[in-house]
C-alpha cells in the first residue's frame, strides 16, 4: 500500500511539473525570441542562428525558475487528487496528512536530482554554446573557427583559453602574421604576397581598461632569420579591434556557471584582490537551490489539504504563482541586500529558503 501510494502521488506530481515546465518554457521561448529579433539580420545572425540561440538559452532560464516549477507543479498534481475527492478517500482510509506529505517529498527528491543535473551538467554547456554561437554570428569584422575559441583580428589570429564573466580573458595567444612580397619568378602573373608568422605572443591574462586592452605576464617569441628571440614583460599594451560587446557575448553569466567553475573563478578574483561578493552569493544560491525545490514541494501541500472539498484549482494556481514569484524576488532581494549590508553570502542565500520553510510548517500545522 505504501509503495503504491508513493508511486500514485509521485506520478501526479511529476505530471503536474511536466505541464508547468511546458507552459513556462513556451512563455520563455517567446520572450527570448522577441528579444533576439533585435539582432536579427546583423552580421551573420540569421534565422538558423536565432532559433539555435533561443533553444540553447532555455535550460538556464528553466533552471532559474525551477522552484516555481516545483511549487506550481505540485499544486497542480495534488489538486487533481482533491478535485476528484481522492484526498478525502485517503484520509478516510486512515492515511495521515504526514504520510501523504512524505509521499510528495519523495517525488520532490526526484525534482531535486533533476535540478542538480540540469544546473551542473546541462546549463554550463548550453549557455556557453548559446552565447558563443550568437557572438560568432554578430562579430562583424572578426572571423571565428570551430576548433576552440578562435578569433581573427586583422592580420592576427587570437586563441582565448577562457572568457570570465567580468570580460577578463585568460590564456591568450596571439599569432601575428605579416604580408611579405613574393618574387615574380620572371612572370608578372606570379607576383603577389604571402603571410608569414613573425611573432607569437602568450599572455596569462588580458584586461580591458578605459577602452584599451592590456596583457599581463607576457611572453613574446619573435621569428627572425637568425632564429627565435624570446622576451618577457609584466604587462604590454595590446591594440585590438575586439570590442567589449563582442567579449560580453562570449562571457557566461556567473549564474550559468557550474559550482566548480564558480569556485575557480572566485579563487581567481581573490588571488588578484578583486571583489568576490557577487560571485560568492551566486555560488551559495546554487548550493541552496536544491533545498529550495524541496521546500516548494512542501509548501504546496497545505493549500491542497485546506481546500480538499472545495476544488478551486484556479485559486490554488494563482496562490502558487504568487508564492513562486515571491520566492524568486525574495531570493534576489535578500542576497543583494545582504551584500550591501555586509551579510555573509551563505546567509543571504539561505534566509529566503528558511523563511518559506517556516511558512510551510506553519501552514501544515493549520491544515493538519
- Whether residue 302 is predicted with pLDDT greater than 70 in this model: the reply is yes
Model confidence at 177, in pLDDT bands (50, 70, 90)? confident
For the chain, how many residues are written?
368
Q: What is the mean pLDDT of residues 299-317?
A: 69
pLDDT in tens, 330-349: 988 888 888 888 889 999 99
Phi, psi of 238 (to 5 degrees): -130, 100
pTM, whole model, 2 decimals? 0.73
Amino acid at each position: 500500500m505504501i509503495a503504491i501510494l508513493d508511486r500514485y502521488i509521485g506520478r501526479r506530481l511529476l505530471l503536474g511539473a511536466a505541464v508547468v515546465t511546458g507552459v513556462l518554457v513556451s512563455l520563455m521561448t517567446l520572450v527570448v525570441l522577441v528579444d533576439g529579433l533585435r539582432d536579427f539580420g546583423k552580421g551573420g545572425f540569421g534565422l538558423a542562428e536565432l532559433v539555435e540561440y533561443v533553444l540553447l538559452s532555455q535550460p538556464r532560464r528553466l533552471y532559474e525558475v525551477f522552484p516555481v516549477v516545483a511549487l506550481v507543479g505540485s499544486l497542480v498534481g495534488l489538486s487533481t487528487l482533491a478535485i476528484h475527492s481522492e484526498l478525502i478517500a485517503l484520509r478516510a482510509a486512515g492515511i495521515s496528512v504526514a504520510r501523504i506529505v512524505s509521499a510528495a517529498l519523495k517525488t520532490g527528491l526526484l525534482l531535486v536530482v533533476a535540478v542538480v543535473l540540469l544546473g551542473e551538467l546541462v546549463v554550463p554547456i548550453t549557455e556557453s554554446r548559446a552565447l558563443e554561437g550568437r557572438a560568432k554570428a554578430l562579430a562583424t569584422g572578426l572571423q571565428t573557427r570551430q576548433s576552440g575559441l578562435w578569433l581573427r583580428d586583422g592580420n592576427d589570429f587570437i586563441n582565448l583559453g577562457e572568457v570570465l564573466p567580468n570580460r577578463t580573458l585568460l590564456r591568450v595567444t596571439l599569432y601575428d602574421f605579416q604580408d611579405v612580397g613574393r618574387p615574380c619568378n620572371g612572370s608578372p602573373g606570379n607576383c603577389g604576397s604571402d603571410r608569414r608568422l613573425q611573432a607569437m605572443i602568450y599572455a596569462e591574462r588580458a584586461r580591458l581598461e578605459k577602452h584599451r586592452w592590456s596583457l599581463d605576464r607576457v611572453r613574446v617569441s619573435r621569428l627572425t632569420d637568425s632564429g627565435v628571440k624570446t622576451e618577457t614583460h609584466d604587462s604590454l599594451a595590446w591594440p585590438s579591434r575586439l570590442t567589449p560587446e563582442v567579449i560580453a557575448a562570449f562571457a557566461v553569466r556567473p549564474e550559468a556557471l557550474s559550482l566548480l567553475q564558480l569556485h575557480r573563478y572566485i579563487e581567481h578574483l581573490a588571488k588578484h584582490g578583486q571583489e568576490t561578493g557577487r560571485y560568492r552569493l551566486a555560488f551559495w544560491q546554487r548550493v541552496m537551490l536544491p533545498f529550495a525545490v524541496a521546500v516548494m514541494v512542501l509548501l504546496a501541500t497545505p493549500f491542497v489539504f485546506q481546500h480538499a472539498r472545495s476544488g478551486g484549482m484556479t485559486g490554488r494556481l494563482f496562490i502558487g504563482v504568487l508564492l513562486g514569484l515571491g520566492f524568486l524576488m525574495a531570493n534576489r532581494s535578500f542576497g543583494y541586500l545582504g551584500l550591501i549590508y555586509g551579510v555573509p553570502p551563505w546567509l543571504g542565500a539561505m534566509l529566503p529558503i528558511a523563511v518559506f520553510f517556516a511558512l510551510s510548517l506553519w501552514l501544515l500545522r493549520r491544515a493538519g
